[in-house]
A and B are shown apart, each in its own frame.
Chain A
């Protein structure tokens, strides 16, 4: 149980009409609990697909994913939604906030979906926004916030239900360097508190800070650049 994620022989094919496109061709990997892991690799080689499968947003064509001891492939739709709500915080490149709701309401939404009663939502959302330095922006809508601020709201929302795992897809891909530094500082402190951070990125600088790097190439995962060059798969 020292690994928060274990996946074995994970494949994913996308089918459009009669054309089958393999996105993942057999990924086996483990992510240790409490680690800071980066998934890197060229565009279109399966990074995002891998992240979707690890986070239970999509189902593999074959193979298995286990998250915090739960075999995701055995879960029905409702149980999978429950896992997404309580075990995982997602952060996306384009923030994916609901533009009609204020920062606070966006965070409250995640609490609502986890069944937190309305009376406790407001205080909790306020704490989380304070945590990412946006206490004074709680009643702003996404359009009134900068990109960096929006991404911090998204992080506050991802943290809403104290998930053990943060799954991020290019969280700084759309930000300037100043905003990126702010985000990374937050991630660093979250990591220090024991949250597992898994981050898909193109950014070599960020990857350099990771404790573990997983390279995705041609739908396969490798642990080091040498392995990738030699085609040596993870055990």
Chain B
């Protein structure tokens, strides 16, 4: 006989209670790990999209905030009130390449897709696109679409097929080679065609700017601001503000998970307190046999901590499984679309996994302090005389 054996024996004698208490902490830690994993890949994805944007600067409507910046990265609809005349003025500035983008949204087979109106030649040069099948769009008022690699695969579309946008059937002219960014899930229209279909007149959503000399980026911003009354944001600023949003979303999710863990902790308190009442007599027997208060305290505290350790391991396992299962099915919106279609969830690093298990054990030990103290304060006679 040894202490661990006694603890396990005590713990598992009430099977139902054992399972449900364990389930509580498992769910709490599972939620925690799920949010951590999703949040982690959200961040990675933001970085990747910012990279794939291929621009040093983005010119947005005046007064744009972080939300619009997220939308640029995710391909959401943006207000379109930058005029082609403003585009022309920015384009005329020296030392930079500028492309206009009209960001809209449509649906294929009832699934939402991002639609971008672009100037085909400029955009291809800007992004360094390769055409995988068919050919590129030719003119800006051509009635045709260019598909991202993943969109083509998802909807089984090839050159010669048709895509309905705003009630108008457009032939698929070409399919892009995979880029690894949101371009892969986007439908591209010649700008003039897109402006006509979405009724935006001669407006676009934003201008992507590539500066010839990266060290002169501040100067470039100044020049654009002198030229047009629009917002200008560098890719770094954009990344920082988007990551700040992602960060606050993550913190919120983790707070929710923390509440779940807290609730589970009270489940442990409840289970352990019940156990001290149930085992009152046994505690007295142990004391008569020579157990010190410290032994009784340890016995209960270890049992409680073991709930945390087991729950932590189960929680991490189920959290990761859940993440893998659920991530591909997340509804697309500004935040979750980063996760969706990112081609797999990165496993959180071992430090996070170990940390979650340790956190779980620590919470459980804390939860066990009061019941263990109660148990150890019983006097032998009080405990033995208890019927």
Q: Give the B-binding residues of A (Cβ under 8 A).
A: 52, 55, 57-58, 77-78, 81-82, 84-86, 90, 92, 96-98, 100-101, 105, 108-114, 118, 121, 157, 161
- Check if A157 sits within 8 Å of B1, measured CB to CB: no
Return A8 CB to nearest CB of chain B, in Å.
Answer: 21
- Check if B384 sits within 8 Å of A109, measured CB to CB: no
- Check if B289 sits within 8 Å of A58, measured CB to CB: no
Complex-state Cα separation, A19 to B200, whole angstroms: 90
- Check if A57 sits within 8 Å of B6, measured CB to CB: no
B1-34: CB near A (< 8 Å → 1, else 0) gives 1110010011001000000000000000000000
> Can you identify 26 A-B contacts, CB atoms within 8 angstroms?
A52-B380, A55-B288, A57-B287, A57-B384, A58-B380, A77-B292, A78-B293, A81-B287, A81-B291, A81-B295, A82-B290, A84-B290, A90-B289, A92-B384, A96-B284, A96-B285, A100-B13, A101-B1, A109-B1, A109-B286, A109-B289, A110-B289, A110-B290, A112-B6, A113-B289, A161-B290
- Check if B287 sits within 8 Å of A84, measured CB to CB: yes
- Check if A112 sits within 8 Å of B380, measured CB to CB: no
Return B374 CB to nearest CB of chain A, in Å.
Answer: 16
- Check if B2 sits within 8 Å of A118, measured CB to CB: yes
Taking a contact as CB atoms closer than 8 A, the residue among B288, B290, B295 that contacts A86 in the complex is: B290
Taking a contact as CB atoms closer than 8 A, the residue among A52, A82, A98, A118 that contacts B285 in the complex is: A98
Complex-state Cα separation, A78 to B295, whole angstroms: 10
- Check if B1 sits within 8 Å of A84, measured CB to CB: no
Taking a contact as CB atoms closer than 8 A, the residue among B10, B288, B291 that contacts A100 in the complex is: B10
- Check if B290 sits within 8 Å of A52, measured CB to CB: no
Return A217 CB to nearest CB of chain B, in Å.
Answer: 21
Closest CB pairs A-B (n = 8)? A85-B290, A108-B1, A81-B292, A113-B290, A57-B380, A58-B381, A112-B1, A90-B288
A109 to chain B: which residues have CB within 8 Å? 1, 6, 286, 289
What 15 additional pairs, Cβ within 8 angstroms, besides A52-B380, A85-B290, A113-B291? A58-B379, A77-B293, A78-B293, A81-B291, A81-B292, A81-B295, A85-B289, A96-B288, A97-B285, A109-B1, A109-B286, A111-B1, A112-B6, A157-B289, A161-B290
Complex-state Cα separation, A57 to B378, whole angstroms: 11
Given known contacts A82-B290, A118-B2, A113 and B384 CB-to-CB distance under 8 angstroms: no
Does any Cβ of A come within 8 Å of B280's Cβ?
Answer: no
- Check if A113 sits within 8 Å of B10, measured CB to CB: no
- Check if B381 sits within 8 Å of A113, measured CB to CB: no
B2 to chain A: which residues have CB within 8 Å? 112, 118
Return A124 CB to nearest CB of chain B, in Å.
Answer: 11
- Check if B282 sits within 8 Å of A98, measured CB to CB: yes
Return B186 CB to nearest CB of chain A, in Å.
Answer: 64
Return B323 CB to nearest CB of chain A, in Å.
Answer: 39
- Check if A113 sits within 8 Å of B295, measured CB to CB: yes
Chain B stretch 258-315: residues in CB contact (< 8 A) with chain A: 281-282, 284-295
Main secondary structure of the interface of A (DSSP, over half): helix
Tier of interface size on chain B:
20 to 34
- Check if A78 sits within 8 Å of B285, measured CB to CB: no
Q: Which of A82, A86, A90, A97 has the most chain B CB within a 10 Å cutoff?
A: A90
A84 to chain B: which residues have CB within 8 Å? 287-290
- Check if A57 sits within 8 Å of B289, measured CB to CB: no
Taking a contact as CB atoms closer than 8 A, the residue among A57, A77, A111 that contacts B288 in the complex is: A57
Return B303 CB to nearest CB of chain A, in Å.
Answer: 13
Complex-state Cα separation, A41 to B295, whole angstroms: 36
- Residue of chain B at shortest CB distance from A52: B381
Complex-state Cα separation, A82 to B288, whole angstroms: 10
B1 to chain A: which residues have CB within 8 Å? 101, 105, 108-109, 111-112, 118, 121
Return A215 CB to nearest CB of chain B, in Å.
Answer: 22
Complex-state Cα separation, A157 to B289, whole angstroms: 9
A57 to chain B: which residues have CB within 8 Å? 287-288, 380-381, 384
Return B3 CB to nearest CB of chain A, in Å.
Answer: 8
Complex-state Cα separation, A52 to B287, whole angstroms: 12
Complex-state Cα separation, A11 to B290, whole angstroms: 24
A105 to chain B: which residues have CB within 8 Å? 1
Return B180 CB to nearest CB of chain A, in Å.
Answer: 59
- Residue of chain A at shortest CB distance from B379: A58
- Residue of chain B at shortest CB distance from A160: B289
Q: Which of B282, B285, B294 has the most chain A CB within a 10 Å cutoff?
A: B285
B10 to chain A: which residues have CB within 8 Å? 100
Complex-state Cα separation, A184 to B384, whole angstroms: 24
- Residue of chain B at shortest CB distance from A85: B290
Q: Which of A81, A108, A109, A157 has the most chain B CB within a 10 Å cutoff?
A: A81
Complex-state Cα separation, A101 to B7, whole angstroms: 12
Return A142 CB to nearest CB of chain B, in Å.
Answer: 12
- Residue of chain B at shortest CB distance from A107: B1
Complex-state Cα separation, A96 to B380, whole angstroms: 13
A98 to chain B: which residues have CB within 8 Å? 282, 285
Return A161 CB to nearest CB of chain B, in Å.
Answer: 8
Return A153 CB to nearest CB of chain B, in Å.
Answer: 12
- Residue of chain B at shortest CB distance from A81: B292
Complex-state Cα separation, A113 to B288, whole angstroms: 10
Return B276 CB to nearest CB of chain A, in Å.
Answer: 15
- Residue of chain A at shortest CB distance from B281: A96
